[in-house]
Chains A and B, each alone.
Chain A
Amino acid sequence: MTLTRLMKRRSPLWIRQAHHERGPLVLSLSKDLFIRRFEYGLQYALALLLAVVVLGPFAWVLSASFQPESAIFKQPPDWLPQPVSLDNYVYVFTGQVPFKTDLSSGLTAGITGDALFIPNSLGNTFIVAASVLVVNLIVGTLTAYTFARERFRGSRLAFNFVLGSRLLPPMAVAIPIYTLLRVLGLLDTRLGLVLVHAAFTLPLTIWVLTLYFRGLPREIEEAALVDGTGRFGALWHVVLPMSAPGLAAVGAFAFLFSYNEFLFAQLILDSIELKTVPVILAAVSVNPDATYTLIAVGVMLAILAPVVLALVFRRYIVSGLVSSLER
């Protein structure tokens, strides 16, 4: 409906375009116009399909999170909540049992105490991810700046080593890292998880920032050096302000990685009050007691921050992605 309306609205423009390119040859014009109209229609249809594929799963989970489980178990299910119910959300935040009528008839308890830890786990995840972000910005900037501006024996080797460490699959180093943290007494601590996440994100940060710093003009820095600010002064007052987009990119990356990471969070954190949101969500989702609509609430709460971050920082994330993987 909207598609055809769009096409109708745009058709005079195509005629003008076709005229412009081909001149007044009427025969070729009508054929051209037909092809163009078909192409535009096809492209819009594909774009619409793509939007549905990308957003559809989110829409379904959002809808499910506002419903009692019995509504989505109908065949076919209630596509839209009727009425919208906040019961599942209320349960997660207050522990008030949702959909009491539902429960009396069901075989399972319908709820799981794990879900009550979702709000707390969101806080944990923020603390860990923000710490990883800070470590990345400080350590990453210093390391990358040194790589970008100083030549020393073994600098190439060190640089390649940092990059190469990314090639190890996480599962392959999971056990040794687990035992290492046990020896260090860092198991079941946020610090342990932050260190592991930082070690996994730093190579990318260092790589992207080194390229970024190398691309900056040296003249301004040298002027600052002449003025007697010293290396750190030059870095702080000159280089960093010019590198804001690069820093935003690596920062968003490190934060997202840490926020989303599951394997190490699962292995390292044991106390439920320390666990991060992917771990809690996984626990809730494989718990046979939890209703699927309650699980949907878990998903919505878990993805909220990354979704907002991805939408707001989209430009930086894309540029960071592109520069990090093009090597």
Chain B
Amino acid sequence: MILPGLVLVGVFSVYPLAYAIYVSMHRLLLTRPDQTPFIGLRNFLDVLAASEIRVAALKTAEFALLTVPGVVLLGLGVALLLNQRLRGMWLLRWIILLPWAVPLVAAGVMWRLLVHGNFGALNGLLFQLGMIGSYIPFLSDPVLALFAVAVAQVWREFPLAAILVLAGLQTIPAELHEVAKVDGASALARFLYITLPLLRPSLLVVLVYETMTALAVFDLVYVLTGGGPGNATTLFSWYTYASTFKLLNLGQGAALSLMMAVGLILLIVAYLRLLPSEEERA
């Protein structure tokens, strides 16, 4: 009885992959669908030769470096806070998932309403508090725009990280901490030598997942900046989308997609190499 499931999953994973490999080696322009000569690796070479791809790759790396540590560290901090026995903490645990549960598109639009240069609650707040004299155009400044997308991404993703780390925290036996306390270990020492090593598996899972998410981010860019201003937020997924569906060059689009898939899978393999060895030690 596994056939329906396997077929459904297979049709939408194996076939697309095979097709992408096939198309990437042919010239396929949607404007001229009847002429699809085999051109070997020309698409890959053309795509790699374009300077935009280097910009997109760099921007994506920058974005990942901004968001992944942010999400992991914030997630860890929030998990430690949620793990405290404080009155009313259940309320916080209850609402924490909200940013993660709403559509990414909606999260992006919300942040547009927050950081917009002509109004935006953030500008309003800073202005109200007298910290700025005039509104800051967050989304039309190249550096600030990437930051804005990154902040939206961190806001969206940190609840997930916090929940996973919290689950990891709750598996650590309380006796460990009590024994260490009796031995005179400070709170910092207990965190560094008990909590952190035992959290390693959870943190690595979060790291892997968040890296994948950051490198594939698309919806946020679509509604928040549209890749702009200029190419300041032209991240890899957006670049693939824009160059495929605006230029209608499916061959080059497939080549781009494949390079992205290979890159991601290599990264995941590298992470997974890390994962089991750390688990064994823990």
Contacts and interface: CB of A to CB of B under 8 A. Distances in A.
Nearest to B96: A54
Contacts of A175: 16, 20, 23, 244, 250, 253-254, 257
Given A51-B95, A77-B124, A168-B261, A173 B12 contact: yes
Interface of B: 1-2, 4-6, 8-13, 15-17, 19-20, 23, 78, 81, 84, 86-89, 91-92, 94-106, 108-114, 116, 118-119, 121, 124-125, 127-128, 135, 155, 159-160, 163-164, 167, 201-202, 205-206, 209, 212, 215-216, 218-219, 222-223, 226, 237, 240-241, 244, 250, 253-254, 257-258, 260-261, 264-265, 268
Contact of A282 (B121, B216, B222): B222
Nearest to B126: A76
Contacts of B103: 259-260, 262, 277-278, 281, 302-303, 306
Chain B CB within 10 Å — which of A10, A172, A292, A322 has the most? Answer: A172
A177 interface: yes
Chain B CB within 10 Å — which of A46, A57, A314 has the most? Answer: A57
A202 interface: yes
A271 B116 CA distance: 31
Interface residues of A, number: 88
Nearest to A317: B97
A20 to B, nearest CB: 15
A242 interface: no
A104 B165 CA distance: 53
Contacts of A317: 97, 101
A73 B119 contact: yes
Contacts of A75: 124, 127, 135
Contacts of A140: 5
A32 to B, nearest CB: 13
Given A47-B92, A202-B9, A295 B113 contact: yes
A199 B6 CA distance: 9
Given A57-B155, A60-B114, A44 B99 contact: no
A75 B96 CA distance: 31
A172 B20 contact: yes
A239 interface: no
A54 B209 contact: no
B218 A263 contact: yes
11 contacts: A55-B95, A72-B119, A161-B6, A169-B237, A179-B19, A180-B12, A180-B15, A260-B104, A311-B98, A317-B101, A322-B163
Q: Which 10 pairs of residues, A with B, have the shortest CB-CB distance?
A: A176-B16, A143-B5, A310-B101, A199-B12, A260-B103, A173-B16, A172-B261, A165-B13, A176-B19, A172-B257
Nearest to B105: A278
Contacts of A321: 160, 163-164
Nearest to A298: B109
A244 interface: no
B5 A171 contact: no
Chain A interface helix/strand/loop/mixed: helix
A225 to B, nearest CB: 16
Nearest to B19: A176
Nearest to B85: A43
Contacts of A206: 5
A169 B4 contact: no
A141 B108 CA distance: 34
Contacts of A58: 98, 110
A172 B258 contact: yes
A77 B114 CA distance: 12
A158 interface: yes
A168 B99 contact: no
Given A167-B268, A199-B11, 18 more contacts: A46-B81, A142-B2, A147-B2, A158-B6, A169-B212, A170-B216, A171-B241, A175-B250, A179-B23, A179-B250, A180-B19, A199-B13, A202-B9, A259-B103, A292-B113, A302-B102, A307-B98, A321-B163
Contact of B223 (A167, A198, A282, A307): A282
Interface in A135-162: 135, 139-140, 142-143, 145-147, 158, 161-162
Interface in A258-304: 259-260, 262-263, 277-278, 281-282, 285-286, 292, 295-296, 298-299, 302-303
Interface in A1-31: 6, 10
A222 B76 CA distance: 44
A133 interface: no
Given A54-B159, A302-B106, A311-B94, A195 B212 contact: no
Interface in A71-101: 72-73, 75-77, 79
Given A260-B104, A299-B106, A173 B20 contact: yes
Chain A CB within 10 Å — which of B2, B8, B87, B212 has the most? Answer: B2
Contacts of B222: 262, 282, 286
Given A142-B1, A142-B5, A278-B103, A54 B12 contact: no
B187 to A, nearest CB: 9
